Structure 1
Amino acid sequence: MSREIIAEPLTAEAFAPFGDVIEARGAPSFQINGGMCDRFHDLARMEFTGPEARVNISVGFGRPYALPLTLTLLERHPLGSQAFVPMSEEPFLVVVAEDENGAPGRPRAFLTAPGQGVNYLRGVWHGVLTPLGRASNFVIVDRTGEGNNLEEHSFAEPWTVTAA
C-alpha cells in the first residue's frame, strides 16, 4: 500500500462525508442590516453532546507547514463538531479519514481555496490545523464542557502528503 496522499481541491461534494465546507457560494440566503449585508446562513452542521456542553468560539494562531508534509497524527472529537474558519486568504491543508474499527483508515487530503473554512462532524478523524505559506489566525468553533472530547491516533508508519 502506498503511503503517499495527493491533496485535492476542497469541494463541498468531496468533503460531505466528513463535514461541511464553510464558504459564501451561490446566492445568499437573505439580506440583513438594511440590505447592506448578504447573509449565507446555516453553513455547518454543528453537533454538541454531553453534560454542560456549549459552543466555544476561539481564535487560533497557526504557524505554517510546508508540503510535502509528513503526517503522523490524526485526532477526533467524539462529543462535538469542530470548525476552522481562516481570517486570511492563505490556503490550509485539510486531512480527514473514515473510521475503521476505532482507528483512522486511509487519509484524504484537501487544499482550501481563498474564502473556504471547514467544519468536521462529530467523531471524524482529522489532521491538526495546518496553514500553508505563512502564519494565519483562524476562528475555531467547537464544544466546551465536561467529558473527554479528544482522541488522538499516531500512525506507526507516517504518510506523505503532497500537492497535485
Structure 2
Amino acid sequence: MTRHLKAQPLTAAAFAPYGDVMEASGDPDKLINQGKCGRFHDRARLDFSDGVAGISIFKGEKESLPLTLKMVERHPAGSQAFVPMSADPFLVVVASDDNGVPKDPVAFLTQPGQAINFLSGTWHGVLTPLSEPGLFAVIDRIGDGANLEEHWFDTDYVIER
C-alpha cells in the first residue's frame, strides 16, 4: 500500500512544531551598515546537547516530484539548519514523534529566500533540492558520539505537488 502526501507551501506557522523558518519577512529588527542593511535577528533556535556548532556545505542531488519517501531521520543531540546557497526551492519533509517512531509525515515546498532549522529530535526527510546546484550551508552539531537515528517506513509515501 502507498500513501500520498501533497506538498504544501512552507509557512512559519505550519512548520513551528518541527522547527524554524528563517526568512527576511516583515520589518527587520534593526538597520545596520549605515541603514543599508536590515538585520532579521536570531531567527533559529539552535540547540546542541554537547559539542559545538559547525557550518558545513552539503551538495545534494536534484530530485523531482512525485517522489517516494521511504525513510526519515533525526538528530537527538542537536538542531540542524539548512540554508540554500541559491534562490531555488527545495522539499522539506517532517514527521511527528510517537514514542520514538515517526508518524503523520508532512511535506513542504520552500519559496526563494526561505531556509529552515529542524529542532533537536525532529524526524525529517533527507536533503531534497529540486534544482541544481543543490548547495546548502548546514549549521549543526559537531562532536563525538552518535547523533543520527533512521526510520524506514513499512509503507511508502508518494509526495506530489
Relative to the length of structure 2, the TM-score reads 0.96
Question: Gaps spanning 5+ residues in structure 1: where?
Answer: none
Q: In 2, Cα distance between the equivalents of 1:41 and 1:97?
A: 27
Alpha-carbon distance in 2 for matches of 1:110, 1:152: 20
The aligned runs of 1:106-145 (5 Å cut-off) are 106-145=104-143
Measure, in 1, the Cα distance between the counterparts of 2:65 and 2:13. 24
Distance (whole Å) between structure 2 residues aligned to residue 141 and residue 97 of structure 1: 21
Identity %: 57
Where does residue 14 of structure 1 map in the other structure? 14
Matches within 5 A, 1:149-160: 149-160=147-158
CA positional deviation for 1:2: 6.4
**What displacement does 1:14 show?**
0.3
Distance 2:133 2:69 in 1: 19
| One-letter amino acid of the structure 1 residue matched with residue 24 of structure 2 | A
Instruction: Give the aligned length.
Output: 161
1:25-36 pair list within 5 angstroms: 25-36=25-36
Measure the CA separation in 2 of the matches of 1:133 and 1:71.
18
1:86 equivalent among 76, 84, 87: 84
The alpha-carbon deviation at position 159 of structure 1 amounts to 0.6
Structure 2 Cα separation of the partners of residues 139 and 133 of structure 1: 16
- Which amino acid is the alignment partner of residue 101 of structure 1? N
Q: Which residue of 2 aligns with 1:42?
A: 42
Work out the CA distance in 2 between the residues paired with 1:148 and 1:42. 27
SS across alignment from 2:62: coil
Distance 1:119 1:139 in 2: 11
2:94 is matched with which residue?
96
Match of 1:77 in 2: 75
Offset of residue 150 of structure 1? 0.6
Q: Considering only aligned residues, what root-mean-square deviation do their CA atoms show, in Å?
A: 1.2
- 3-state SS of 2:69 partner: strand
Asked whether the 8 Å contact 2:2–2:156 carries over to 1, the reply is no
The answer to whether the 8 A contact 2:21-2:117 is kept is yes
Is the CA contact 2:2–2:155 (under 8 Å) kept in the aligned structure 1?
no
**In structure 1, C-alpha distance between the alignment counterparts of 2:27 and 2:123, rounded to whole Å:** 31
In 2, Cα distance between the equivalents of 1:32 and 1:63?
36
Q: Which runs of 4+ in 1 moved over 6 A?
A: none
